[in-house]
Structure 1
Amino acid sequence: MFASHSHLDLSNCRKIFLRNYRANIRIGVYESEKLREQRVVVNVDLFVPLALSTPVEDKLCEVVDYDFIRTTVALKVDGGHIHLQETLCDDLATSFLAHPKVRAVRVSTEKLDAYADCEAVGVEVFRAKA
């Protein structure tokens, strides 16, 4: 699944994801970036063991709620100026891994307005519980 993480077996996991969450946020280290918001896209994949996410009674409490992902992202991007995309990705990954059902997480961020000659520049992090 992830070449650099081939030692980690995620085959018994369900992937829960948030795709292309868009926000205008204050992010960047340059003075020009500190004066205005920038368009950012966030993507999240959570890997949850099937044993912890296969509903028996068809109830929300048996799975990881999508709202948890969206709310976590919204709180982080609304929390004030962030200098680095790496910081944002790492903070989000830490928050997601704090959930007792989440085994691994992949988070990416993309700044859409950084350069006129490309679609986006970004960062991605993958982390897993030991």
Structure 2
Amino acid sequence: MTGTYTIIVEGLTVEMRLGIHPHEATPQPVRISVWMDLAYPQPLPHDRIEDVLDYDFVRDGVKALADGPGFALQETLCDAVAALCLHDTRVVRVRVRSMKTDIYPDAQVGCEVVRSRT
């Protein structure tokens, strides 16, 4: 019997270059949320971090992407975050959402992708 869990990193806000318009050449706030479905070989026998995925790598990885050259599209940003998560073989499915929070005064705009291990 396997243990299935969803690990959530919700609302991580970073400053990054994201977009195709001239005014988006400077970093802007982007909010990233990640849901990772994990399959462990058995229900957790102990209450130890060594037995589970430590979600620090997702936060650190998103921050590293934000410090990089940037992305033209939210779709490619979401794909990069999903690939980062799927690098851990225990992650069987990941959902990533990005939201530009300051583009419009009356709305946020975003993208969401779902990727699964094949």
TM-score by length of 1: 0.82
Quote the residue 2:31 is aligned against: 41
Structure 2 CA distance, aligned partners of 1:98 and 1:50? 15
Runs of 4+ aligned structure 1 residues displaced above 3 Å come to: none
Q: C-alpha deviations, 1:7-66, integer Å up to 9, x for none?
A: xxxxx62000101001111111111111x22111000000001436x4323221210002
Gap regions ≥5 residues in structure 1: 1-11
Gap regions ≥5 residues in structure 2: none
Letter of the 1:100 partner, please give it. Answer: T
Which of 79, 91, 109 is residue 121 of structure 1 equivalent to? 109
Structure 2 CA distance, aligned partners of 1:87 and 1:78? 15
Structure 2 CA distance, aligned partners of 1:55 and 1:73? 27
Structure 1 CA distance, aligned partners of 2:55 and 2:92? 16
Quote the residue 2:46 is aligned against: 57
Residue 92 of structure 2 corresponds to residue 103 of structure 1: yes
SS in 1 for 2:36: strand
SS in 2 for 1:103: strand
SS in 1 for 2:41: helix
SS in 1 for 2:6: strand
CA contact (8 A) 2:33 2:98 kept: yes
What's the % identity of the aligned pairs? 34
Letter of the 2:58 partner, please give it. Answer: I
Letter of the 1:101 partner, please give it. Answer: R
SS in 2 for 1:20: strand
Structure 1 CA distance, aligned partners of 2:106 and 2:63? 28
Structure 2 CA distance, aligned partners of 1:129 and 1:60? 23
Higher RCO by CA contacts (8 Å cutoff, separation 6 or greater) = 2
Structure 2 CA distance, aligned partners of 1:128 and 1:75? 23
